[in-house]
Structure 1
Amino acid sequence: MEDLLKRAYDATDFRNSGHRIIDLLAGQLGQSHEIEGCDAINHKSPERQLDYWKDDFNKPFIESPDTLFKNVINNSVNLHNPGYLAHQVSVPLPLTVLTAAVMSYMNNGMAVYEMGMAGNAIEKIVISHLTSKFGLGDDASGIVTSGGTLGNLTALLAARASVSNVWEDGANDSEKLAIMVSAEAHFSIDRAARIMGLGKNGIIKVPVNEKFQMRTEALEICYQNAVAAGLKIFCIIGCSCSTSTGAFDDLQAIADFAQQHQIWFHIDGAHGAPAIFSDKHKHLLNGADNADSIVLDFHKMMMAPSLSTAVLFKHQRHSAHTFSQEALYLYQDEQEYEWFNSGKYTFECTKPATILHTYAIMRHYGDELYRQNIDCLFGLAREFASLVKNRDGFELASEPQANIVCFRYRCGELTTAINKQVLQQLIAEGKFYIVSTSVKGQFYLRTSIMNPFTTIENLQLLLDKIKELACSLHLNPQLQH
């Protein structure tokens, strides 16, 4: 019988396979920079995709992973294609393919120092760099966790811990806690609040203006109405930026309101907070230095692979108290603040060292790369919005503040039906991958320009294609009924 363990850990086979997969990925990368090189998406229905992989799973064992990797690539979205304009997911740097390999090989978790010696140290350095960029002060700290949803939940738990001892004593039915947030806030805020037991009545949604920013002039009345209803507001959240339209809330006004009422000020900057690296766009974050906590995703605008999110705290103690509990087999002194044992401050125990991606980017390219990426993508969004406004038949939802543009093709009473059909056909054809959203209750097409190799010519082609499809559909008698 063959010694499979010996073959599975064979260094020569690993080296040869590694060279081949890098060659494969490099070939894909070269093709992807041209929109005609390969499709952005090769769409199959869920049933067809499942059947494909069922058939693959039932075949004889593979001698080499090469074909498997090719099949995965061919059945996945190609984020490196200029026609990828869909979700807020980074086009990861090739460098991070290498850091991912090192991470997987080392497999050093970060909960305790001995298992994550390098990881915990470089995490502290990156966090310190970020808190400095935001001007949070010398007492600031933070952690890295797996995604914006966990990041926002971590920050909200810290906010609650600043006014309540529910972590130790359990929920108090007589204490009705609540948060205030923009009506345009990401669903992860709503989810976090519900996980915390606040319920839908504990989420006070502040209306937005015509630019989809929180109406800060309405904060006081929303606050007083909540207090009159017996709620205790313990946190207010600013969006930087909103997911649907890319709107940045007025953080300075929110900070002033939070200070006036002595409540926690949190910024959900998962997508837009890296604008802090751009001299041209960091004004969008004016007031962030007054935040008690900030979340930003490395896997959105900072070109790292998923999932990796920084949670920044203005005061170290807030990070330390959030998950305080005994785990003597891991930590000798649970109450002492130990930055090098990051498991004390996150949900994860076996926390992956995803910080290596961002540290390597910073060491290799510096902040200038982030500046160029932000300026490029935000600039493309403004150019695209201008194209939409000046193109006959198209309608822009709002002027973009970030790299998100919402628009549609106007077709009278058939506008919604035709735009939905256009979206389906675009995805089926595969050259472009965009998504949709609801703006003021209306269906709009939505692009997130994440790829710095997308050009204004590519975006012009997208509008050409949408108009071609829309005009064709408009003549379809089935859509008239």
Structure 2
Amino acid sequence: MMNDDIWGAARGALDRIAADRARRETIVSIASPEEAAAFRALAAPGAGRAIAEVVGDAERIFAHRVRMDHPRFYGFIPSPASPLSLVGELLASGYNAHAGSWMQSSGPAAIEQGLIAWLAERAGLPDSAGGLFVSGGSMANLTGLMLARDRMLPPEERHRGVAYVSTQTHSSVAKGLRVLGFLPEQIRKVAVDAERRLDIAALGEAIATDRAAGRAPFAVVASCGTTNTGSIDDLHAIADLAARERLWLHVDGAYGASVVLSGRHRALVDGLARADSLSWDAHKWLFQTYCCGMVLVRDRRHLLESFATSAEYLQDAAAGDETPNFWDYGVELTRPARAMKLWFTLQVMGERAVGEAIDHGFMLAETLAEALGERPHWRIVSPAQLGIVTFRYEPPGYDGSELDALNTAIARRMIDDNVAAPLTTRLDDAVVLRACTISPDATADDIRAMVAELDTRAQAIAAAIRA
């Protein structure tokens, strides 16, 4: 195959991607059983085919997805990736640097080193801080928790170790603790308060109870932006308690840590400066394509103590403090130059524009709550915070199970009609609608229009239930 054919196909693929983003077609498209069967049959290679034909197949395959970057997708934590991130990813993939060692990628490694230092400074961490880019929050949480285990629990004490999370902590934290060898009974779920933040008094009581029972508390995980409601735990109070109890404080900031770049709301997350380790996803509120996360730690030496290894075949890639081998800072040996795509976006947009885009998400959530409040029978379950609102349609005369079914049907109808995609969650043992409004491409008018469409469908579905 000629190189000209390959580069021509690459240009064509980029044109198709640009056209797909511009069309903003079906928000949620799930392959039918027949389509999935056809794709599975297509997975195994046969004789070589024309590159244009394969690109066309790829386009049809990718058509069946949730468009997480669609301005009217409000489920989960969207990934409203900037086209700049795509260009940055294209550069990183095209140059294909092995970002494990300084020898193999001294240019990208210097950017990663400098960008980690800048992010740590923005989070308020000291000069001793460090970190690295990872695939996302799950790996960042695992990395921080491994440091907690290694620093706070001698090997012979690990069977007694207990880590504390809240009932709203992201599920990746418990998964990471299990990967590290902790049993379910060593993961203590603590209640939350009325604002769905980790209850400080309940945390203190749980620690005291475990110590009295001969267990070894070693870490507490605080949330900076829970997935359900966007709540931020009282980071300062938890840090004070962790210091008194000699516990490692890991903060899951995969979603909310980006607020440190906000011009208007940065004070909400100033407690991040107290963390021993911090997870942070750029593919959420820093507008990157997937697989771009960071883990920051208060003392970068702890990463080396937990992860550095040596082998005779690596002797030519020896490193120093100013010339780090990032494979000694985390799990991966082979790793891409993830930092480069975030660097590219930040360089083109500038810090101020990124902060304004984050502030825009706050404004959209506030607009949503205000618009819902203007219509009867809509109850705000959790207020607008960090770009997230939860709400529930509650017309009179319906019992709890009927209201659960009604709100589930409202979300389904919005998706089926391709109007917008708010999804559901459960709070206080009830089904509620939830919207995360962080797309820079969405407008306040879009939000108000969605509320009008929600209300129209809610009334129609409620009437049909009673018909």
Displacement of 1:463 after TM fit? 2.5
Which range is displaced more, 325-334 or 242-251? Answer: 325-334
Displacement of 1:316 after TM fit? 1.8
- Structure 2 vs 1, CA of residues 431 and 66 (structure 1 numbering), >3 Å: closer, same or farther? farther
Q: Which residue of 1 aligns with 2:71?
A: 82
Aligned-partner Cα distance in 2 for 1:450–1:50 = 31
Q: Which runs of 5+ in 1 are unaligned?
A: 1-6, 33-37, 167-171
Q: 1:321-368: per-residue Cα shift (whole Å, max 9, x none)?
A: 122333332257989757521111211121111111111112222211
Aligned-partner Cα distance in 2 for 1:63–1:145 = 32
Aligned-partner Cα distance in 1 for 2:199–2:319 = 41
- Structure 2 vs 1, CA of residues 53 and 261 (structure 1 numbering), >3 Å: closer, same or farther? same
Q: What RMSD, in angstroms, separates the aligned Cα atoms of the two structures?
A: 2.4
**Which residues of 2 match residues 46-445 of structure 1 at below 5 A?**
47-54=33-40, 61-64=49-52, 65-166=54-155, 172=156, 175-331=159-315, 340-411=324-395, 412-413=398-399, 414-445=402-433
**Structure 1 vs Structure 2: percent identity of aligned residues?**
25
Q: 1:192-223: per-residue Cα shift (whole Å, max 9, x none)?
A: 11222222221222211111111223332121
Aligned-partner Cα distance in 2 for 1:287–1:450 = 22
Displacement of 1:56 after TM fit? 5.2
Displacement of 1:384 after TM fit? 0.7
- 1:28 is aligned to 2:15: no
Look up the equivalent residue of 1:193 and give its one-letter code.
L
- Structure 2 vs 1, CA of residues 237 and 66 (structure 1 numbering), >3 Å: closer, same or farther? same
Q: Which residue of 1 aligns with 2:28?
A: 41
SS at structure 1 position matched to 2:384? coil
Asked if the contact 2:367–2:447 (Cα under 8 Å) also holds between the matched residues in 1, the reply is no
Asked if the contact 2:367–2:448 (Cα under 8 Å) also holds between the matched residues in 1, the reply is no
Which range is displaced more, 157-166 or 180-189? Answer: 157-166
Asked if the contact 1:378–1:403 (Cα under 8 Å) also holds between the matched residues in 2, the reply is yes
Aligned-partner Cα distance in 2 for 1:331–1:142 = 23
- Structure 2 vs 1, CA of residues 442 and 54 (structure 1 numbering), >3 Å: closer, same or farther? same
Which range is displaced more, 392-401 or 460-469? Answer: 460-469
SS at structure 2 position matched to 1:476? helix
Displacement of 1:399 after TM fit? 1.0
Displacement of 1:54 after TM fit? 4.0
Aligned-partner Cα distance in 2 for 1:393–1:118 = 57
Displacement of 1:304 after TM fit? 0.8
Asked if the contact 2:277–2:295 (Cα under 8 Å) also holds between the matched residues in 1, the reply is yes
Aligned-partner Cα distance in 1 for 2:206–2:322 = 40
SS at structure 1 position matched to 2:333? coil
Asked if the contact 1:247–1:400 (Cα under 8 Å) also holds between the matched residues in 2, the reply is no
Which range is displaced more, 198-207 or 372-381? Answer: 198-207
Q: 1:117-136: per-residue Cα shift (whole Å, max 9, x none)?
A: 22211110110001111221
Q: 1:266-312: per-residue Cα shift (whole Å, max 9, x none)?
A: 11100000100113111111222121111100100001111111111
Aligned-partner Cα distance in 2 for 1:84–1:205 = 31
SS at structure 2 position matched to 1:287? helix
Look up the equivalent residue of 2:340 and give its one-letter code.
L
TM-score of the two chains, using structure 1 as the length reference: 0.89
Aligned-partner Cα distance in 1 for 2:60–2:424 = 28
SS at structure 1 position matched to 2:296? strand
Q: Which runs of 5+ in 2 are unaligned?
A: none
Asked if the contact 1:152–1:295 (Cα under 8 Å) also holds between the matched residues in 2, the reply is yes
Which range is displaced more, 57-66 or 317-326? Answer: 57-66
Which range is displaced more, 434-443 or 330-339? Answer: 330-339
TM-score of the two chains, using structure 2 as the length reference: 0.92
Asked if the contact 2:263–2:359 (Cα under 8 Å) also holds between the matched residues in 1, the reply is no
Look up the equivalent residue of 1:235 and give its one-letter code.
A
Q: Which residue of 2 aligns with 1:465?
A: 453
Look up the equivalent residue of 1:439 and give its one-letter code.
L
Aligned-partner Cα distance in 2 for 1:300–1:287 = 20
Asked if the contact 1:182–1:208 (Cα under 8 Å) also holds between the matched residues in 2, the reply is yes
Aligned-partner Cα distance in 1 for 2:28–2:40 = 21
